[in-house]
Amino acid sequence: MLPLLLLGGALGVAAEQAAPLAFTMLQLTRVYKGNSMIRGNASLNGQLSHVLEENNVTQVLPLEPPDAWARRQEMVMSYLDIFRQLVQLFNKERPTKFTQHLCCHLGCRLYPNGTAQSFYEVTLNRTAFLTFHVPNATWERRWPGDLPVATYALEQLMKYPITTQDLQYFLNTTCVSILQTQSARTGKVSGRSRTPLVLGLVLGSLILLGMALGIFLCTGGSC
């Protein structure tokens, strides 16, 4: 019995050590009659690092000094204000009487052998909508069946470096470097880190801007 217990313990330790480090972000947007509600969060290795609630974004972990964080906080809120204004403008041109739900889920994982995996997934009304293929910086449709808004959103997202090459760089380089730094510190989070984690939230809001025109002008009609 003792050898079995020791074996079970060893396997448990090995499994724990093999678990990848992860940095993930989730951004949820709900739009109804021109009004938008935005919230989200970011987690570093299972610890909540940032929270986005309507008109306020905060860093739960002291990952950036106050002056740097204040600048990034202002940047995020500026982009979100632009998004809300666009939603109101589009709603005036083509009012919608039903609620739209947009969800962006992105991040990266670093495995013990040094390999990394990044992802960016978008759902619309709780259905798979678009996926960003990180290796070649291209967007792919995931919506089942033919949907004009999916095609239009895909075309818009592929037009700009911020939603292709810049996003690829963030996921492949910035995001992974966050985890490499975390790994080098043996799992301890340091308040001295100046890594711009909130860049992901900024990119997330830009992705929303890129899709807004298609979603609110093409829904219910043809592009």
pLDDT digit string, tens, across residues 60-74: 988 778 887 888 788
Q: How many domains does the chain have?
A: 1
Query: CB pairs under 8 A, 24+ apart, for 12-20?
Result: 17/112, 18/111, 18/112, 20/109, 20/110, 20/111, 20/112, 20/117
* Domain presence at residue 1: no
Looking at the DSSP assignment, which residues form a beta bridge with residue 1? none
**Which residue did the predictor score with more confidence, 117 or 170?**
117
**Radius of gyration for the chain, computed over Cα atoms and rounded to the nearest angstrom:** 20
* Domain presence at residue 46: yes
d(CA 23, CA 172): 12
Tokens 């798979």 — which residue?
A: 128
pLDDT of residue 119: 94
d(CA 8, CA 90): 59
| CATH code of residue 135 | 3.30.500.10
Q: Which whole number is the average pLDDT over 200-218?
A: 60
Q: Tell me the pLDDT of the chain averaged across its residues.
A: 76
Nearest to 102 by CA among 176, 39, 165, 152: 39
* Domain presence at residue 180: yes
26, 38 in Cβ contact below 8 A? Answer: no
Q: What residues make up the domain containing 146?
A: 21-186
* Domain presence at residue 137: yes
* Domain presence at residue 4: no
Question: In this model, does residue 5 exceed pLDDT 70?
Answer: no
Question: In this model, does residue 108 exceed pLDDT 80?
Answer: yes
pLDDT of residue 186: 53
**Residue 150 is which amino acid?**
A
* Domain presence at residue 155: yes
- The 10s digit of each residue's pLDDT in 6-60 is 334 333 433 445 678 999 988 888 888 878 888 889 898 888 988 988 778 888 9
Could you give the angle at which helices 66-93 and 199-218 cross, rounded to 10 degrees?
0
pLDDT of residue 10: 35
Helix/strand/coil for 29: strand
Q: How confident is the model at residue 157 (pLDDT cuts 50, 70, 90)?
A: confident
d(CA 217, CA 92): 10
57, 78 in Cβ contact below 8 A? Answer: no
Nearest to 222 by CA among 125, 151, 160, 131: 151
**Which residue did the predictor score with more confidence, 132 or 99?**
132
How many other CB atoms are found less than 10 A from the CB of residue 181?
13
Q: Which whole number is the average pLDDT over 75-87?
A: 79
In which element (H, E) is residue 135 found? none
pLDDT of residue 59: 87
* Domain presence at residue 5: no
pLDDT of residue 4: 32
Tokens 């792919």 — which residue?
A: 140
* Domain presence at residue 71: yes
